[in-house]
Amino acid sequence: MTDITSGTPDQPEGRRPFSLRGLIAATEIDVRLFGMLLALVAILLGFGLVTGGKFLQPTTFITLSVQTAVVAIMATGMVLIIVSRNIDLSVGSIVGVVAMAYALLMTDWLPHGLGLGANNPLVWIIALVIGLGLGAAIGGLEGFIIAYIGVPSFIVTLGGLLALRGVVWIMSSGAAVAGLDPTFDLLGGSAQGSVGGDTTWALAIVGCVAAVGLLVYNRRQRRRFGFPVRPRWADVLLGVVSCVAVLGIAAIANANYWPKGLANKYAQQHGIVVPPGGLQISTGLPWPIIVVIGVTLLMTFVATRRRFGRYVYAYGGNPDAAELAGINTRWTIMKTFMLMGLLCGLAAAVAVARQDSATLDVGQSDELYVIAAAVVGGTSFSGGVGTIPGAVLGAIVMQSLAYGLAFVGVNTPTQNIVAGAVLIVAVGLDSYNRRRGGGR
Amino acid sequence: MTVDERPPLVEMRNISVAFGGVHAVRDVSIDLRAGEVIGLVGGNGAGKSTLMRVLSGAHTADTGEILIDGEPRTINNPRDAKAYNIETIYQTLALADNVDAPANVFLGREIVTRWGTLDDGAMEAATRKVMARLNPNFTNFSMPVKSLSGGQRQAVAIARAVHFNARILIMDEPTAALGPAETAQVRDLIRQLKTEGIGIFLISHDIHDVFDLSDRIGVMYHGRVVGIVNKAEVTPDEVLGMIILGKPRDEVTDKDLAKLH
């Protein structure tokens, strides 16, 4: 436990000896993102201090991250929506519709309606594909109305928020649907819904190699064209820090063990003798976290390395310029909403898998948390500004606060007051910085 | 000027554009030849910019036709215009302020790798190359263009037009926001492009600019072309008279001109 406590703040600690300004310039690191990382560390350490270290346990980080997953997945899409000067208020209701669709598909329509049977592995696969498609279709329809018919996104998605929640009720005749496919439920990230210790280490090593590979590739690319490159020590530092971070996350995940009851049951079933201290099986990374990491990487790739992403940002910076440059702006906007819908479908899968059921209120109010995450993460409503990792960090910061406050026994109304205040203060600080010309 | 037997680079015939009840451009015909600079002048709201926006695909004309190299062509959007090598430098510059210079230069026409990802290296290299020619002092290739000076932003807008082998270049007030040194640079560039055989429409309020650079001058007044005159055959005062009074040159009398002073 204690080594974890000292392990987390390692990152900023190691940077202190240098001049911060020079370091930021040399590594070309995103100042805003770096600031948020510091804020997150401060929040976690703060709760650690208040609870006398009890807060800083692997279980805390894992639970917190799993709770963040649904909002974080959607926040990556919301960034592109807000960057292109729109808003999507309907994401929570899309989650509700798709969640109910998953539940009905897996409990009724596919096994009985299609006669696939209860334990057919095809059931969850088909359900997932249909659910993702449904999300994208709903988002696409909203996007079409917004981009091609010209109804403001606030209105269209406000309508979606109301109407789609009604659809949820009609789909299930007002009842919750429980008892989903057990394989599908792994997406929820219970102890079994984690990939285990070995796979986690393997993933971490892959991540490490990929990070270093990317640094080397970028350096070579710039050399190839004869552009100025970062100082070598900065690249090495970035590589080392990335690897330490990735391996550190894996170590934390692997220091989280199966609950005793579950471990004993497992030992019994497999004829393992339980050692005196209890059988310790590492959970490793839960599936929702892997999904979030995957989505973050993919969305960052789409936003920064693909034409589509470039058009979204250019449109947000100056819609007329994008139009005059010959970009098909309507199609670009419609695609942002389709992508948002798809991510809602994925978030819905994690949400229903976590509770093994679809209730009528799955996703309710999620739109607010998703927008808050994106905005705390540095996405600006004036358009053109915002990053995917920032939004994910924003989601983690907000959830850390909520979880930490609950941990120290603060009630929900007070948690909401804090969350609201933090939202306003975070954006206020950001605007202040931007006006001073400190930010970008 | 010697008589050119080839069809004009561009011929706009009987173009009309109306916004609601307002006729911004009425029945305008104008043509442009290779290596020629036409200065378009006129008061505010005379219709110069609207006429050029039709050619660059930002507006569609209500009536009239556009011929390119003698062939009738349809230009419905900026993509169509660019396909015919019509490039435009807008008065507003039309830059995406939040992205860097290479991204702006290649906006809508990005270079991609064989995996379909943006090839930022190649785009930056190409931008550095074209900038070396336009503005050797330009070094900011990775900052969002909003942090650049007016002259540097203008250079980005010009680079975008020049890089893609424009045959027809529309420049809307290209020197309005520039200092004397940068204005001189733009003038040199216009002369250089002219010798490369590019046809240029130059919209300007600066009558000296127009006289300095143009071969012919088109004067617009309340949406109509009052006259298209050879620079060599008119005086700046006469053109000024046409702009202010909205009369063809023959009807601008000495008395009119005297009144202007």
Chain B, residues 205-224, CB within 8 A of chain A, namely none
The torsion angles phi and psi of A432, rounded to 5 degrees, stand at -60, -45
Kindly indicate the confidence band of residue B261, based on its pLDDT and cuts at 50, 70 and 90: low
Chain A residues within an 8 Å CB radius of B117: 301, 305-306
- The position carrying tokens 């009720």 is A169
The distance from CA A433 to its chain's CA centroid, rounded to whole angstroms, is 26
Higher model confidence: residue A50 or residue A275? A50
Based on the fold, state whether residues B145 and B173 are members of the same structural domain.
Answer: no
Q: What is the C-alpha R_g of chain B?
A: 19
Chain B, residues 143-182, CB within 8 A of chain A, namely 144
Mean pLDDT of A325-352: 97
* B121/A222 touch (CB, cutoff 8 Å), yes or no: yes
The torsion angles phi and psi of A389, rounded to 5 degrees, stand at -60, -35
Residue B10 has pLDDT above 90, yes or no: yes
Mean pLDDT of A141-151: 98
Range in A261-265, A317-321, A364-368 with the lowest mean pLDDT: A261-265
- The position carrying tokens 């110069």 is B48
Would residue B127 count as lying in a domain? yes
Kindly indicate the confidence band of residue B191, based on its pLDDT and cuts at 50, 70 and 90: very high
Rounded-to-integer distance, Cα A440 and Cα A28, Å? 12
Question: Which DSSP symbol is given to A131?
Answer: H
pLDDT at position A8 is 37
Based on the fold, state whether residues B159 and B217 are members of the same structural domain.
Answer: no
Mean pLDDT of B133-159: 89
Residue-range definition of the domain harbouring residue B115: 96-164
State pLDDT tens for residues A61-116.
Answer: 999 999 999 999 999 999 999 999 999 999 999 999 999 999 999 998 888 887 77
Kindly indicate the confidence band of residue A310, based on its pLDDT and cuts at 50, 70 and 90: very high
Residue of B nearest to A380 (CA): B98
Half-sphere exposure of A43 (CA within 13 A, CB side): 24
**Terminal Cα distance for chain B, rounded:** 32
Based on the fold, state whether residues B25 and B13 are members of the same structural domain.
Answer: yes
pLDDT at position B119 is 93
Sign for the pseudo-dihedral over CA of B144, A316, A93, A301: negative
Rounded-to-integer distance, Cα A45 and Cα A166, Å? 43
pLDDT at position B4 is 59
Cα distances (Å, whole numbers) of residue A307 to A304, A335, A384, B75, B120: 8, 12, 15, 24, 11
Would residue B30 count as lying in a domain? yes
Would residue B248 count as lying in a domain? yes
Residue-averaged pLDDT of chain B:
90
Would residue B60 count as lying in a domain? yes
H or E element in which residue B156 lies = helix B150-163
Mean pLDDT of B184-213: 91
Where helices occur in A105-196 by DSSP H, the ranges are: 122-144, 153-172, 182-185
**Full DSSP string of B129-146:** HHHHHH-TT---SSSBGG
- The position carrying tokens 């043509």 is B31
What number of other Cβ atoms are within 10 A of residue B129's Cβ?
11
Residue A9 has pLDDT above 80, yes or no: no
pLDDT at position B170 is 96
Answer for the pair B241, B252: CB distance below 8 angstroms, yes or no: yes
CATH code of B26's domain = 3.40.50.300
Mean pLDDT of A356-360: 94
Among residues B145, B164, B183, the one where a domain terminates is: B164
Residue A304 has pLDDT above 90, yes or no: yes
Chain B residues within an 8 Å CB radius of A306: 116-118
The torsion angles phi and psi of B159, rounded to 5 degrees, stand at -55, -40
Mean pLDDT of B97-119: 95
Would residue B23 count as lying in a domain? yes
Residue B259 has pLDDT above 90, yes or no: no
Based on the fold, state whether residues B1 and B26 are members of the same structural domain.
Answer: yes
Answer for the pair A407, A47: CB distance below 8 angstroms, yes or no: yes
What number of other Cβ atoms are within 10 A of residue A199's Cβ?
15
Based on the fold, state whether residues B209 and B251 are members of the same structural domain.
Answer: yes
Based on the fold, state whether residues B66 and B194 are members of the same structural domain.
Answer: yes
Chain A residues within an 8 Å CB radius of B77: 326
Sign for the pseudo-dihedral over CA of A350, A354, A357, A358: negative
Residue of A nearest to B161 (CA): A325
User: Could you give the 3-state DSSP secondary structure of residue B187?
Assistant: helix
pLDDT at position A437 is 59
What's the domain count of chain B?
2
Pairing state between β B199-203 and B168-172: parallel
Residue A385 has pLDDT above 90, yes or no: yes
H or E element in which residue B52 lies = helix B48-55
Rounded-to-integer distance, Cα A319 and Cα B95, Å? 10
- The position carrying tokens 């770096």 is A34
Based on the fold, state whether residues B69 and B157 are members of the same structural domain.
Answer: no
Residue of B nearest to A440 (CA): B144
- The position carrying tokens 């064989």 is B114
Structure tokens at A98: 């798709």
**Full DSSP string of A250-286:** HHHHHT-B--HHHHHHHHHHHTPPPPTT----B--SB
pLDDT at position A26 is 78
Burial state string for A352-363 with b = 16 or more CB within 10 A and e = fewer than 16? bbbebbbbbebb
Based on the fold, state whether residues B230 and B116 are members of the same structural domain.
Answer: no
Burial state string for A224-254 with b = 16 or more CB within 10 A and e = fewer than 16? eeeeeebeeebbebbbebbbbbbebbbbbbb
Residue-averaged pLDDT of chain A:
90
Rounded-to-integer distance, Cα A91 and Cα A78, Å? 9
Structure tokens at B240: 């000024």
Residue A12 has pLDDT above 70, yes or no: no
Based on the fold, state whether residues B66 and B109 are members of the same structural domain.
Answer: no
Where helices occur in A145-228 by DSSP H, the ranges are: 153-172, 182-185, 197-224
Residue A3 has pLDDT above 60, yes or no: no
Q: What percent of chain B has pLDDT over 90?
A: 66
SS3 content of chain A, % helix, strand, coil (to 5): 75, 0, 25
Mean pLDDT of B171-190: 87
- The position carrying tokens 């088909």 is A126
The distance from CA A215 to its chain's CA centroid, rounded to whole angstroms, is 24
Chain A residues within an 8 Å CB radius of B109: 325-326
Q: What percent of chain A has pLDDT over 70?
A: 95
Cα distances (Å, whole numbers) of residue B182 to A383, B127, B163, B174, B241: 31, 19, 19, 10, 29
Would residue B39 count as lying in a domain? yes
Range in A285-294, A331-340, A387-396, B132-141 with the lowest mean pLDDT: B132-141
**Angle between helix A197-224 and helix B120-134 axes, rounded to 10 deg:** 20
Would residue B26 count as lying in a domain? yes
**Nearest-CB residue to B96 (from A304, A314, A440):** A314
Rounded-to-integer distance, Cα B218 and Cα B229, Å? 6
Based on the fold, state whether residues B237 and B187 are members of the same structural domain.
Answer: yes
**Nearest-CB residue to B107 (from A221, A325, A440):** A325
Kindly indicate the confidence band of residue B249, based on its pLDDT and cuts at 50, 70 and 90: confident
User: Could you give the 3-state DSSP secondary structure of residue A393?
Assistant: helix
Cα distances (Å, whole numbers) of residue A112 to A127, A183, B19: 13, 18, 60
* A325/B78 touch (CB, cutoff 8 Å), yes or no: yes
Residue A403 has pLDDT above 70, yes or no: yes
Would residue B91 count as lying in a domain? no
* A320/B94 touch (CB, cutoff 8 Å), yes or no: yes
* B56/A384 touch (CB, cutoff 8 Å), yes or no: no
Based on the fold, state whether residues B58 and B126 are members of the same structural domain.
Answer: no
Based on the fold, state whether residues B39 and B80 are members of the same structural domain.
Answer: yes
Q: Which of A382, A359, A291, A384 is nearest to A73 (CA)?
A: A291
Q: Which of A318, A315, A334, A314 is nearest to A147 (CA)?
A: A334
Question: Which DSSP symbol is given to A187?
Answer: G
Residue B14 has pLDDT above 90, yes or no: yes
Mean pLDDT of A418-440: 78
Kindly indicate the confidence band of residue A15, based on its pLDDT and cuts at 50, 70 and 90: very low
CA dihedral A132, A340, A295, A74 (to 10 degrees): -110
Residue A313 has pLDDT above 90, yes or no: yes
Answer for the pair B201, B55: CB distance below 8 angstroms, yes or no: yes
Rounded-to-integer distance, Cα B164 and Cα B108, Å? 12
pLDDT at position A17 is 53
pLDDT at position A134 is 98
Rounded-to-integer distance, Cα A291 and Cα A351, Å? 12
Residue of B nearest to A223 (CA): B121
